[in-house]
A and B are shown apart, each in its own frame.
Chain A
């Protein structure tokens, strides 16, 4: 049945009269959406704060300490992170012995599904950068930094190098040639999970993280 369905659908589409293709797409309107480098981070921050993302500003040298201080101040019991990334190594090296439990996501999900759902207070991930036009972070999960780190724990801490903010998604896709090298899952995240399904009233923290905390690396 399915093989026949495929053949029949494609045959019908090929037999249909030629559709008007219209003009070639003109992407000039996308190319115009540029922002001077100095404006990109303030713009991203303003747009993301409008949808309740939080920002912790720190520097390249000091960020592991800033993350530890945030975790302690919030009274977190545990923070999951990806082992095997440079950022993960920095976090391990700098983590205070008295700090919250630092939990590497180093096993298949199935091996610790219940713990991840019930016992992890926050997940820490890196990002590939951000988007100035709309706000938003670019995440490419990897074997070292799994997909669910940024989704299941109630708080998502995301490390952003503010010098790696693209003008827009269109610019990022082209500049980094995404088409040839997308990982099995790539995503944009612009704030904590939210819904307006009840009377158009915004409510945060519906299924995904209740808080998104951007650990923003600004020049020292």
Chain B
């Protein structure tokens, strides 16, 4: 592995985050509250078991029939008057969006929350091409003002406290008086953004579920900015990853229930917006054009592996990060990835390469909390272990990006020695004897030990091996 400058490094970023006590307090408070409220939403274990099994089955079936469902979605959308575009890469998707905006002479765009647009770095791209792209979700608006990326996929500004937001608004928004009152801060954002909705030439949104059966795009939100962005401007551009499609409208209610309860512990959000077409005949409002951009961006590669393909079941609720002991302590930015937390540890190495982002695969204690709370039953810990193995595999599977490239000579040699010992009882006993008698004299700088002792006491081996203790107790050797 070669060290490149600017390469993401979770260890370094995590160490920095752990030293920021205000950041840690902001996350701890938020995650504790979310965990307690989510648990109350799923208080009935039988309902949770059955609903989760249903969610998992719907998502698995959607992925199993993906090409067919995407084609049906396209056909139904086009029938409803929605223009459908396909993009293999983020760069292609950006160019498509810009092309649509240019055809309408659009220079001012309002955006609803969309993680796919974060994958595309769409705002930066549009700004570079002379289009103002303004985030309208309050959390996204806050971090855009501060030139940051989301630290959580549901609550993008969760790393900031009200004092930090108050200072930001005071500095960046003309006419905004300094206030730490949340209602007053919200009112300031409402005033600014109402004007932007009014003036916008186009609106951009994500998609929570796309229904193949009816050609319907479903948007889940609380603020109303999603409805504003999709219904006030004359053009609406919706962005979705290829995995977002479900087969039938009937599939949506269980997924919607799992999503809102897992994400924010709400039985239902303020708004659930089902868009099946642009302004219809006789309608007096709604966009004149609706465009749907379907983006791959590495997703189809994940489908090449039967086990890893379940990564794509994800409905982006964020429960795995809310329950992750690592995420809670380091926050979202330390991952230096679009998707942080446990699901990000699966998505990022699969899209950027398991060798390049091996650091993320190791950033887990495998405690299993993420797998337990996943509303669509993605076996996140098992997949993390699988990806760790793929990263260093001697004979890697085809579908995994950079499989085997994380292999390290010294590390593989160490494991070979370990296997050699374990296969030879005499040698194993001798090594055990040596370790118990001389282990404490090992220098701290030894490779392997050095990394361990950087933040911990040097382990002190017991004075006698387990075999010796067993012998002393008269327990016969197995």
B174 interfacial contact with A, CB 8 Å = no
Residues of A within 8 A of B228 (CB): 151, 207-208
Are A146 and B284 interface neighbours, CB within 8 A? yes
CA distance A195 to B266 in the complex (A): 12
A189 interfacial contact with B, CB 8 Å = yes
B12 interfacial contact with A, CB 8 Å = no
Residues of A within 8 A of B155 (CB): 196-197, 200
CA distance A152 to B197 in the complex (A): 10
Are A200 and B29 interface neighbours, CB within 8 A? yes
CA distance A7 to B247 in the complex (A): 21
Are B285 and A207 interface neighbours, CB within 8 A? no
CA distance A18 to B137 in the complex (A): 38
Residues of B within 8 A of A135 (CB): 267-268
CB distance from A62 to the nearest CB of B (A): 29
CB distance from A158 to the nearest CB of B (A): 13
CA distance A136 to B81 in the complex (A): 28
Task: Kindly supply a per-residue 1/0 record for chain B positions 299-335, scoring 1 wherever the CB is within 8 Å of any chain A CB and 0 otherwise.
Answer: 0110111100100000000000000000000000000
Are B162 and A198 interface neighbours, CB within 8 A? yes
Residues of A within 8 A of B185 (CB): 198, 203
A28 to chain B: closest residue by CB: B50
Are B249 and A179 interface neighbours, CB within 8 A? yes
Partner of B92, one of A5, A107, A134: A5
B392 interfacial contact with A, CB 8 Å = no
Residues of A within 8 A of B80 (CB): 184
A29 to chain B: closest residue by CB: B50
B98 interfacial contact with A, CB 8 Å = no
Residues of A within 8 A of B252 (CB): 169, 173
B272 to chain A: closest residue by CB: A188
Are B253 and A5 interface neighbours, CB within 8 A? no
Are B306 and A21 interface neighbours, CB within 8 A? no
A9 interfacial contact with B, CB 8 Å = yes
Residues of B within 8 A of A136 (CB): 268, 272
Partner of A24, one of B57, B182, B223: B57
B193 to chain A: closest residue by CB: A207
Are A30 and B254 interface neighbours, CB within 8 A? yes
Residues of B within 8 A of A190 (CB): 268-271
Task: Kindly supply a per-residue 1/0 record for chain B positions 271-296, scoring 1 wherever the CB is within 8 Å of any chain A CB and 0 otherwise.
Answer: 11111111111111110000000101
B183-226 contacts to A, CB under 8 A, are: 183, 185-187, 189-190, 193-194, 197-198, 213-214, 216, 222-225
Residues of B within 8 A of A27 (CB): 54, 250, 254
Chain A interface size range: 35 or more
Are B303 and A207 interface neighbours, CB within 8 A? no
Are B223 and A9 interface neighbours, CB within 8 A? no
CB distance from B34 to the nearest CB of A (A): 8
Are B254 and A197 interface neighbours, CB within 8 A? no
B248 interfacial contact with A, CB 8 Å = yes
CA distance A206 to B189 in the complex (A): 8
Are B224 and A29 interface neighbours, CB within 8 A? no
A98 interfacial contact with B, CB 8 Å = no
Residues of A within 8 A of B283 (CB): 141-143, 146-147, 184
B66 interfacial contact with A, CB 8 Å = yes
Are A22 and B57 interface neighbours, CB within 8 A? yes
Residues of B within 8 A of A220 (CB): none
Residues of A within 8 A of B194 (CB): 117, 207
Residues of B within 8 A of A51 (CB): 266, 270
Residues of B within 8 A of A182 (CB): 214, 216, 249, 274, 276
Residues of A within 8 A of B156 (CB): 197
Residues of A within 8 A of B160 (CB): 198
Residues of A within 8 A of B56 (CB): 22
A23 interfacial contact with B, CB 8 Å = yes
Most buried by A among B29, B95, B231: B231
Task: Kindly supply a per-residue 1/0 record for chain B positions 429-455, scoring 1 wherever the CB is within 8 Å of any chain A CB and 0 otherwise.
Answer: 000000000000000000000000000
B358 interfacial contact with A, CB 8 Å = no
Given A16-B303, A195-B223, A197-B138: A206 touches B278 (CB 8 Å cut-off):
no
B262 interfacial contact with A, CB 8 Å = no
Most buried by B among A8, A24, A170: A170
CA distance A51 to B165 in the complex (A): 25
A151 to chain B: closest residue by CB: B227
Residues of A within 8 A of B284 (CB): 105-109, 143, 146
Chain B residues close to A by CB (< 8 Å):
26, 29-30, 33-34, 47, 50-51, 53-54, 56-58, 60-61, 63-67, 70-71, 80-81, 85-88, 92, 95-96, 136-139, 142, 155-158, 160-162, 165, 182-183, 185-187, 189-190, 193-194, 197-198, 213-214, 216, 222-225, 227-228, 231-232, 242, 248-254, 256-257, 264, 266-286, 294, 296, 300-301, 303-306, 309
Query: 17 pairs across A/B with beta carbons < 8 Å?
Result: A20-B64, A23-B53, A23-B57, A135-B267, A135-B268, A143-B282, A173-B249, A184-B286, A187-B227, A187-B271, A187-B272, A188-B268, A194-B222, A199-B182, A200-B29, A201-B182, A207-B223
Shortest 3 CB-CB contacts between residues of A and residues of B: A208-B224, A143-B282, A197-B139
New contact pairs (13) apart from A136-B268, A151-B227, A174-B250, CB-CB < 8 Å: A9-B88, A26-B53, A32-B47, A147-B285, A185-B275, A190-B271, A195-B223, A196-B264, A198-B138, A200-B34, A205-B190, A207-B193, A209-B224
